[in-house]
């Protein structure tokens, strides 16, 4: 009872903290009541429907970024609580030959702002993640099929009133051009993606609430501010990109910044990685009604951020084991291969992703066994017991398959962690407690994701 009471108090505290912060950084707060004498300027580009950037996850053949849409009419509006968009008076311009535009927008409409473009019956949208201020200049990401789908998902989240834990960067992470092509124009699919992203964010919050991390307002302010800054930098870099390689580099930096935002806020790498492993399972369970192609695209995107978090946490724990330089380099190489292989998928089946994480798991187990001060083969044997037909991994997988309840899945993960901790304690004979703890954490990390 005491544990449940503490958990409830932490979750209530976290809810109030994240409500304040998410409103600040998503731009879902009320308009600034102060008078604005100067409009804000929103700069961007209209790339159009045929310029879908697959740089988020898949390798691309083209090396040149697409040309823009000339002569498109660009306007701006605010998303209302019912999902409609109220046009902002006076915000109208036309794109240049390269698709670029500079749009003056009433700065008093500083939240929930989206830009829209239209030409010859074709329409595109993009959200403005930065808050508008009098005389300020901000950038919106290029308008194309991807940005349009992202904006529709954001609108659905606003309409559902479930934005407390979600940031714009969460939507950016999960919705790419491949997923956009599957859901755009299908309201039910857009709503399901929106709901799944909300549930993923809720699950992540629940994980932090029950963990030993002291989740303070300052901690989350720091993390979410860093994520907001990463989003702003991404939008600017995408507008400036002249090649697909530059777009790829922009997304790589964005993903890494989203992961490091939590570490920089003193949330340990292993805690964040475990939270992502758990919350992404919730994301995928809540998107099961999507088409197989849409699920595959969402799965590839979710796997990328998990792979980055897992790689960072694995390297940190190997350092705690005092791994050799060669062992560390082998882990670095394994992480790079994992990310590269996941990126190569435009979409991915569950078996595709499982195979990539299993290959990574096998490489890390061997590195751990080589670096361990225990007898050779001990770590390999413990891992084999974890993955036995009646082992903790099978029990965890069965629990995830059998329920749609986030709380039940979280309990299953807790049982899984405890089982591995017990197995390491009973079977790993080492003198260094730091090595034993790092071994436990590594076996948890690589088996939760594989």
Ranges of the chain whose pLDDT falls below 50 = 1-7, 16-36, 52-54, 59-63
Per-residue model confidence (pLDDT) at position 36: 46
Is-contact 195 161, C-beta < 8 A? no
**Cα angle value 56/122/230 (rounded, 5°):** 30
User: Which residue has tokens 């989203």?
Assistant: 258
Is-contact 5 102, C-beta < 8 A? no
Is-contact 140 43, C-beta < 8 A? yes
Is-contact 386 448, C-beta < 8 A? no
Residues in Cβ contact with 163 at an 8 Å cutoff, skipping those fewer than 6 apart: 22, 23, 26, 28, 157, 198
Provide the H-helix boundaries in 344-391.
Answer: 350-371, 378-386
Per-residue model confidence (pLDDT) at position 160: 82
Q: Tell me if residue 380 falls in helix, strand or coil.
A: helix
Give the rounded distance of the alpha carbon of 416 from its chain centre.
Answer: 24
C-alpha pair distances (Å), 310 with each of 53, 120, 222, 277, 361: 25, 46, 21, 8, 10
Residues in Cβ contact with 155 at an 8 Å cutoff, skipping those fewer than 6 apart: 79, 83, 85, 114
Helix (H) or strand (E) run with residue 168 in it: helix 168-174
Per-residue model confidence (pLDDT) at position 222: 83
Is-contact 325 331, C-beta < 8 A? no
C-alpha pair distances (Å), 225 with each of 169, 199, 256, 324, 438: 11, 21, 15, 36, 30
Q: What is the pTM for the complete model shown?
A: 0.88
Task: Enter the tokens of residue 43.
Answer: 């700069």
DSSP 8-state class, residue 62: -
User: Which residue has tokens 């790092």?
Assistant: 438
Distance CA 279, CA 410 (A): 9
Distance CA 141, CA 235 (A): 4
- β pairing state of 73-79 and 113-119: antiparallel
- Reported as half-sphere exposure (CB side, CA atoms, 13 A), residue 402 has a value of 8
Is-contact 286 406, C-beta < 8 A? no
Per-residue model confidence (pLDDT) at position 131: 86
Give pLDDT tens digits for 103-137: 999 998 777 899 999 999 999 999 999 888 999 99
Is-contact 204 6, C-beta < 8 A? no
Give pLDDT tens digits for 247-286: 889 999 999 999 999 888 888 999 999 999 999 999 999 9
C-alpha pair distances (Å), 5 with each of 8, 14, 55, 203, 450: 5, 14, 45, 18, 33
Task: Enter the tokens of residue 377.
Answer: 């083969």
């Amino acid at each position: 009872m005491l544990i449940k009471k503490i958990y409830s108090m932490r979750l209530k505290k976290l809810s109030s903290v994240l409500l304040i912060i998410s409103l600040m950084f998503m731009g879902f707060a009320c308009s600034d009541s102060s008078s604005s004498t100067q409009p804000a300027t929103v700069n961007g580009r209209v790339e159009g429907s045929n310029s879908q950037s697959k740089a988020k996850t898949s390798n691309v053949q083209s090396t040149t970024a697409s040309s823009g849409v000339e002569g498109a009419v660009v306007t701006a509006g605010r998303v209302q609580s019912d999902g409609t968009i109220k046009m902002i008076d006076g915000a109208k311009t036309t794109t240049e030959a390269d698709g670029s535009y500079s749009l003056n927008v009433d700065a008093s409409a500083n939240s929930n702002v989206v830009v829209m473009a239209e030409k010859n019956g074709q329409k595109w949208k993009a959200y403005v993640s930065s808050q508008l201020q009098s005389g300020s200049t901000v950038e919106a990401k290029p308008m194309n099929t991807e940005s349009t789908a992202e904006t529709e998902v954001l609108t659905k989240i606003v309409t559902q009133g479930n934005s407390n834990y979600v940031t714009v960067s969460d939507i950016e992470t999960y919705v790419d051009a491949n997923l956009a092509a599957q859901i755009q124009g299908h309201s039910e699919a857009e709503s399901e993606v929106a709901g799944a992203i909300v549930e993923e964010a809720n699950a992540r919050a629940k994980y932090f609430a029950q963990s030993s991390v002291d989740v303070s307002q300052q901690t989350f302010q720091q993390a979410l501010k860093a994520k907001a800054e990463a989003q702003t930098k991404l939008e600017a870099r995408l507008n400036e990109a002249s090649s697909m390689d530059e777009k790829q580099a922009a997304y790589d930096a964005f993903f890494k910044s989203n992961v490091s935002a939590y570490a920089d806020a003193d949330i340990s790498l292993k805690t964040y990685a475990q939270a992502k492993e758990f919350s992404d399972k919730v994301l995928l369970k809540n998107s099961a009604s999507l088409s197989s192609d849409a699920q595959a695209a969402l799965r590839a995107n979710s796997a990328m951020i998990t792979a980055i978090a897992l790689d960072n946490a694995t390297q940190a724990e190997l350092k705690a084991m005092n791994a050799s330089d060669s062992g560390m380099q082998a882990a670095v190489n394994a992480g790079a291969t994992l990310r590269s292989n996941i990126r190569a998928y435009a979409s991915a089946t569950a078996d595709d992703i499982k195979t990539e994480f299993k290959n990574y798991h096998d490489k890390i187990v061997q590195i751990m066994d080589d670096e361990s001060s225990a007898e050779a083969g001990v770590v390999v044997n413990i891992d084999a017991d974890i993955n036995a037909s009646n082992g903790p991994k099978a029990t965890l997988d069965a629990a995830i398959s059998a329920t749609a309840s986030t709380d039940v899945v979280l309990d299953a993960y807790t049982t899984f962690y405890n089982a591995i901790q017990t197995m390491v304690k009973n079977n790993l004979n080492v003198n260094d407690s730091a090595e034993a703890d790092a071994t436990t954490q590594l076996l948890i990390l690589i088996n939760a994701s594989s």
